Structure 1
Amino acid sequence: MTHDLTGKTAFISGSTAGIGFATAKGLAERGARVVLNGRSAQSTEAATARLRETLPDAQVSGLPADLSTAAGVDEAVAALGQVDILVNNLGIYGPEDFFETSDDTWQSYFDTNIMSAVRLSRALAPAMVTEGWGRIVFLSSESAVNIPDDMIHYGLTKTALLALSRGLAKRLRESGVTVNAVLPGPTSSEGFVEMIETRTAETGESFEAAAIGFVKEARPSSILGRPTTPEEVAAMVVYACTPAASGTTGAALRVDGGVVESAF
């Protein structure tokens, strides 16, 4: 079995920062041609330059597109051509009380977190089947099975991705295309870092102490006792994209630090 991805093309939605960027870096390190994606040309170009600086020999390009819209997905698909690896990473999150969450907010989360993945997978999977090899990974969350009461709208979309991943894996059975979901827990991506920095400004704690404190308060079931890093989550995503993971499909792969109170 091998982790080499030379000759494969990978597209990672929402990959200008955080888990998406770390995933792009990990795939590029294994020889894949990587296409980064952001909503704006500026953010996409900046991320592409950053990755090229880190990995000068990597094959890296950028594709700005608003994948929360059907038109944006159509434009991206037309520009991409053949894709062997699709990582549906694009997502938005934020706390809001259920009774204050408007229809527009629900629709925005549905379009961004679910429909971007539906449309990209529907457009790109058939060519993978024709080739007899492909990898599709959905970034879900421990919030999919541990629905937060202050982010019901977010949790619902992540649960939907689990259903989508499992169903698509079964639809593509015996095709050589594997489909899996990865479930991170609290992760020190940009949004998390900003939240913790706000906390440190108020409490005077160190960043590390504040991050650990948040996990212990908000996710007391965590076995790890700290947030994971984007690189730790990306390691699981990258593995699922390699030939070494050929026997893994239809799975929910947890990188949640043990937050979910289940052995299965």
Structure 2
Amino acid sequence: MTTPFTDLFSLHGKIAVVTGGNGGLGLAMARALRDAGAEVVVTGRDPKKNAAVSDDFEVRPLDVTDAAAVDRLFDGISRDRGLDILVNNAGIYLDDPVSEGDLSAWEQMVDVNLTGSLRCARAAARPMREAGSGKIINVGSVYSLFGHPRSAGYAATKAGLIGLTRSLAAELGGYGIQANVILPGWFPTDINGDLPRMPRGEEIRRRTPAGRWGRDSDLSGIAVFLASRASDFVTGAAVPLDGGYMISDRFLDASPR
């Protein structure tokens, strides 16, 4: 008996954790998973941002650099309800020019962006292996593929998420677990601040074939797809979500040569 097409994308009965889900891209993905039927737990380490979304979601405080706290949270959720979906969205950006400063910014970004994602994936993989299914969705960046002129640490950790994702896919595929990474392009977020309204923001828009910056709604389809049965044969993929920014080498109004 074939599965109805719409049922492929249904998340009813699924339990999802979205780290860094109290704002920005994480909150947009949490809303998409919830609207598709999942029971969503969001985590974050900012008490004010956690409180702001507590009416809409179950919110758990979590610092992904705290290994013991990560294990406690995932063990508790999986013991009580099971765990089907992890969205590894928690991340930070710090200015970190190679020729300036010490290694503190680099070490913080590695600990949050890369090692934090590994900690959460390890903790989530345990109940997923026992269940024989699961979805791990990591969140990279256009800087997973580009160099960053002011933050080698950000580019290195976001590039590292591609390697981490592929390794998770290779190791966990035999247990019915898929791991993929989304590479968002330019979205208005706290990290980008006023950039959309600055000349550089207009340059980004002009270089993007879609002709605009990203919107929260642009995250809905890819998040639900990668969390659902529709993507059961998709694993180890790095999926651009950038309006074509990474394939464009000029402004939209530039004359072809």
Q: TM above 0.5, one fold?
A: yes
| 1:86 maps onto 2:72 in alignment | no
Counterpart in the other structure of 1:250: 236
Aligned 1:10-25 pairs, distance under 5 A = 10-25=16-31
Change (3 A) 1:219 1:163: farther
- CA distance in 1: counterparts of 2:242 and 2:212, whole angstroms: 10
TM (norm. structure 2) is: 0.86
- CA distance in 2: counterparts of 1:65 and 1:189, whole angstroms: 20
| 1:43 maps onto 2:42 in alignment | no
| 1:184 maps onto 2:211 in alignment | no
**RMSD (Å), alpha carbons:** 2.0
- CA distance in 1: counterparts of 2:46 and 2:206, whole angstroms: 37
- CA distance in 2: counterparts of 1:97 and 1:162, whole angstroms: 23
Kindly state the Cα deviation for residue 174 of structure 1 after the two structures are TM-superposed: 3.1
- Is this contact kept in 1: 2:96–2:105, CA < 8 A? no
Change (3 A) 1:101 1:187: farther
- CA distance in 1: counterparts of 2:179 and 2:200, whole angstroms: 32
Counterpart in the other structure of 1:149: 149
Which digits, 9 at most, give the CA deviation of each residue in 1:45-84, with x for residues without a partner? 32121xx2xxxxxxx3111111122233133224322211
- What amino acid does structure 1 have at the position aligned with 2:223? V
Runs of 4 or more consecutive aligned structure 1 residues displaced over 6 Å after TM superposition: none
- Is this contact kept in 2: 1:36–1:48, CA < 8 A? no
Describe the SS at the equivalent of 1:66. Answer: coil
Identity %: 31
Aligned 1:188-199 pairs, distance under 5 A = 188-192=188-192, 194-196=193-195
1:74 pairs, out of 67, 71, 74, with 71
- Is this contact kept in 1: 2:18–2:88, CA < 8 A? yes
- Is this contact kept in 2: 1:10–1:86, CA < 8 A? yes
Change (3 A) 1:41 1:95: closer
- CA distance in 1: counterparts of 2:143 and 2:117, whole angstroms: 18
- CA distance in 2: counterparts of 1:127 and 1:79, whole angstroms: 11
Counterpart in the other structure of 1:64: 61
- CA distance in 2: counterparts of 1:225 and 1:94, whole angstroms: 28
- CA distance in 2: counterparts of 1:214 and 1:114, whole angstroms: 28
Aligned 1:1-264 pairs, distance under 5 A = 1=5, 2-49=8-55, 52=56, 60-81=57-78, 82-192=82-192, 194-196=193-195, 210=197, 213-217=199-203, 221-261=207-247
Which digits, 9 at most, give the CA deviation of each residue in 1:20-48, with x for residues without a partner? 00111111111111001110444223212
- CA distance in 1: counterparts of 2:37 and 2:122, whole angstroms: 25
Kindly state the Cα deviation for residue 131 of structure 1 after the two structures are TM-superposed: 1.2
- What amino acid does structure 1 have at the position aligned with 2:19? S
Describe the SS at the equivalent of 1:119. Answer: helix
- Is this contact kept in 2: 1:184–1:255, CA < 8 A? yes
Higher deviation after alignment, 15-24 or 169-178 = 169-178
- Is this contact kept in 2: 1:222–1:259, CA < 8 A? yes
Kindly state the Cα deviation for residue 124 of structure 1 after the two structures are TM-superposed: 1.3
Gaps of 5+ in 2: 249-257
**Paired positions, count:** 239
Gaps of 5+ in 1: 53-59, 197-206
- CA distance in 2: counterparts of 1:148 and 1:235, whole angstroms: 28
Higher deviation after alignment, 1-10 or 110-119 = 1-10
Change (3 A) 1:234 1:100: farther
Counterpart in the other structure of 1:204: none
- CA distance in 2: counterparts of 1:85 and 1:229, whole angstroms: 23
